[in-house]
Structure formats: C-alpha cells, structure tokens
C-alpha cells in the first residue's frame, strides 16, 4: 500500500488541477453566453436573406450572374473553421476527421484558427491562406476573408467554395458540417430554410410561404430597381459575406460551449479522484495506526 505522504501529495496536486479547470469552466461559460447570443442574434437576418434569395429563384436565369453559375468542379476551396486553442474536447478532432474524406489533389484550404492551420501543415495539405480572428469577430473583420475566397472563385482558380465548421446545435451538441457556399445554390438555401422551420426564429409557416409563392406566380411580374444586374451584384456577394460571418459566429459559440463542457467534465473527474484518494489515504492511515497499536501491545505483553 502506498504510503500516506505520497497519497497526500497526489491529493494536493489533483485539487490544484481541479481549481484550474473550474476557473477555465467559469471563463468559458461567460464567453459562451456572449458567443451564443451573437450567433443566435444573426439567425433571423440570415433567414430573411435566404427568403429574399428564395423569392429570386423563380425569377432570374441561373446563368445570368457569375456567382450563380455551376461550373464543372476541378478544384474546390474549403474554408476550414477551427479554434485557436485546445482544451475543448473532441470539437476540432471531429471537424478535422472530415478532411480525411476529401481528395487532397483537388482541394485547397483556407484556414481560420490555429488548430486547423497546424493540422493542414502536419498532414501536408495545400493551404493557400490562414487567418486569425479575435474571440468576438465583427463583420468588418471577417469580410476580408470572405472577399479572398470570393476572388479565388471569380478568378477561376477554384470552381466551388465549401465551408467546414462545427455547427452549433446546443451547448452539448456540435456537429461538423461541410456546406457549399459558392456558387450560390438557391435550391440548397431553400432546403436550409425549410430545415430551420422548426426553429423559433422563423415566422412564416410553410403554408403561408406557399401561398405567397403562388401569388407571385399568378401575378407573374417581378421588378428590379434599378436593374436586375445591379440588385444581384449587391445582394449575392453580400449574402456570401454574411453567410461566412454567421458561420464564424457559430464556430465561436460551438468552441466556447465545447470548452465549457470539457472543463466541467475535467472538474468532475478531478473531484471523484480526490474522493477516491481521500478514502485510500484514510485507509492507509488507519492501517498504520493499527499496526503501531499492535506493535505496542505485543511489546508490552512481551515485557510482562
């Protein structure tokens, strides 16, 4: 049996660790609240933007704007969102696992976050840019990143832009998602807005939307002011920039949630360990007292 001094030392060190993880849990919890709020606040807007694009779908020619044209995909750009720091459970691992499934010869990467950049460098993938962002990025800070991806797409060096990020479902669940952003596929955005029908953010029930759609088809007239080109030139890039911004906020919310949960688990584990060690310590102490008593009594009996 380990001696009591060793056990005491271990208890002390485990308690210290618990204190640190507890502090990290608190920090992550407060950051999480802010990050979740930011991610949620943008959802109605992103939803409304989808609706606007949806109402465009039947009225514009899919080939009339470079951001809408589907080209044969020779090269794909993947915008990879990961955290800068570790200690957030399996969050980054889950996202990075999805990269293995991608063909390395036809995929180039743009990384946001140190973990993703380090992984790409380690596995020898082609990374054309990496960016670092603060904890609470603003639209202006993320715009240069999305602008970079947009230019890559428009110049023809890539034919498709995807985003791979841990989607925030709730505090306990984050799911890695690989989503096509460019060319803007309005079919897909309609699927997305339908899947989010269940969220409380949406006001239009599917039936009312169908009615409005029918109304439009009956009237059959749709105006663009000043011209369709002007409106498309403004709304399509903007919707892409906003989409990227929204995904980055989502990643941040996922990261802080995962970190809080991981740190909570670590604190609980440390507490259990302290409990077990204390029991062992008490047993060892009791055993040594018993042995001592035995020795004293034997010695006394031998004297008599």
Partner 1 sequence: MPTLHLEIVTPEARIYQAEVEAVVVPGVEGELGILPHHVALMTQIVPGELRISHEGQQLRMAVGEGFLDVLPNRVLILTDMAIDEADIDEHAAEKAVALAEQELKNTTLSHEEIATVQSSLLRSLAKIRVKRGSHY
Residue (of 173, 170, 192) closest to 181 by Cα position = 192
Regarding 61 and contact with partner 1 (CB under 8 A), the answer is no
Regarding 49 and contact with partner 1 (CB under 8 A), the answer is yes
Q: How far apart are CA 220 and CA 193, in angstroms?
A: 23
- Return the residue of 45, 86, 276, 287 that touches partner 1, per CB under 8 A: 45
Regarding 55 and contact with partner 1 (CB under 8 A), the answer is yes
Using the minimum distance from each CB to partner 1, give the nearer residue, 203 or 304: 203
Based on the residue annotation, tell me whether 88 is a catalytic residue of this protein: yes
Structure-token match 């709304």, residue found: 235
Regarding 170 and contact with partner 1 (CB under 8 A), the answer is no
Regarding 226 and contact with partner 1 (CB under 8 A), the answer is yes
Regarding 203 and contact with partner 1 (CB under 8 A), the answer is yes
Using the minimum distance from each CB to partner 1, give the nearer residue, 44 or 206: 44
Active-site pick, 14, 35, 88, 236: 88
Regarding 185 and contact with partner 1 (CB under 8 A), the answer is no
Q: What is the 3-state secondary structure (H, E, C) of 128-157?
A: EEEECCCCCCCHHHHHHHHHHHHHHHHCCC
Using the minimum distance from each CB to partner 1, give the nearer residue, 10 or 57: 57
Regarding 52 and contact with partner 1 (CB under 8 A), the answer is yes
- Return the residue of 17, 102, 106, 139 that touches partner 1, per CB under 8 A: 139
Residue (of 172, 169, 150) closest to 161 by Cα position = 150
Q: Which residues, at least 6 apart from 108, have a Cβ–Cβ distance to it below 8 Å?
A: 75, 76, 77, 78, 126, 127, 128, 158
Three-class secondary structure of residue 111 per DSSP = strand
- Return the residue of 62, 104, 212, 290 that touches partner 1, per CB under 8 A: 212
Q: How far apart are CA 280 and CA 269, in angstroms?
A: 17
Using the minimum distance from each CB to partner 1, give the nearer residue, 133 or 216: 216
Using the minimum distance from each CB to partner 1, give the nearer residue, 133 or 231: 231
Which residues partner with 162 through β-bridges?
78, 180
Tokens matching residue 46: 């992103």
Residue 11 CB neighbour total at 10 angstroms = 18
Angle, CA of 64, 66 and 68, to the nearest 5°: 75
Regarding 64 and contact with partner 1 (CB under 8 A), the answer is no
Catalytic machinery residues? 88
Interface positions with partner 1 (CB under 8 A): 41-42, 44-45, 48-49, 51-52, 55-56, 59, 139-140, 143-144, 201, 203, 212, 215-216, 219, 221-226, 230-231, 234-235, 238, 242
């Amino acid at each position: 049996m380990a001696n009591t001094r060793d056990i005491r030392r271990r208890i002390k060190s485990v308690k210290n660790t618990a204190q640190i993880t507890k502090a990290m849990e608190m920090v992550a919890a407060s950051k999480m609240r802010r990050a979740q709020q930011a991610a949620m606040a943008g959802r109605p807007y992103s939803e409304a933007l989808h609706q606007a694009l949806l109402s465009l779908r039947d009225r514009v020619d899919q080939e009339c704007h470079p951001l809408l044209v589907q080209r044969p995909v020779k090269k794909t750009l993947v915008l990879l969102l990961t955290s800068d720091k570790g200690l957030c459970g399996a969050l980054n691992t889950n996202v990075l696992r999805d990269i293995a499934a991608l063909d390395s010869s036809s995929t180039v990467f743009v990384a946001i976050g140190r973990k993703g950049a380090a992984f790409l460098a380690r596995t020898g993938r082609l990374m054309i840019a990496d960016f670092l962002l603060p904890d609470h990025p603003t639209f202006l800070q993320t715009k240069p990143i999305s602008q970079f991806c947009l230019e890559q797409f428009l110049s023809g060096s890539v034919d498709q832009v995807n985003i791979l990020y841990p989607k925030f479902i709730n505090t306990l669940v984050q799911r890695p998602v690989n989503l096509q952003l460019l060319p803007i596929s309005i079919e897909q955005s309609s699927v997305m807005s339908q899947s989010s029908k269940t969220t409380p953010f949406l006001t239009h029930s599917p039936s009312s939307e169908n009615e409005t759609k029918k109304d439009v088809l009956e009237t059959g007239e749709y105006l663009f002011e000043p011209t369709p080109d002007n409106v498309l030139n403004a709304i399509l890039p903007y919707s892409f920039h906003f989409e990227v911004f929204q995904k980055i906020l989502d990643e941040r919310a996922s990261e802080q949630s995962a970190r809080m949960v991981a740190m909570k688990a670590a604190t609980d584990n440390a507490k259990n360990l302290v409990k077990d060690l204390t029991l062992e310590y008490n047993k060892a102490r009791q055993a040594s007292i018993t042995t001592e008593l035995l020795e004293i009594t034997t010695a006394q009996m031998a004297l008599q």
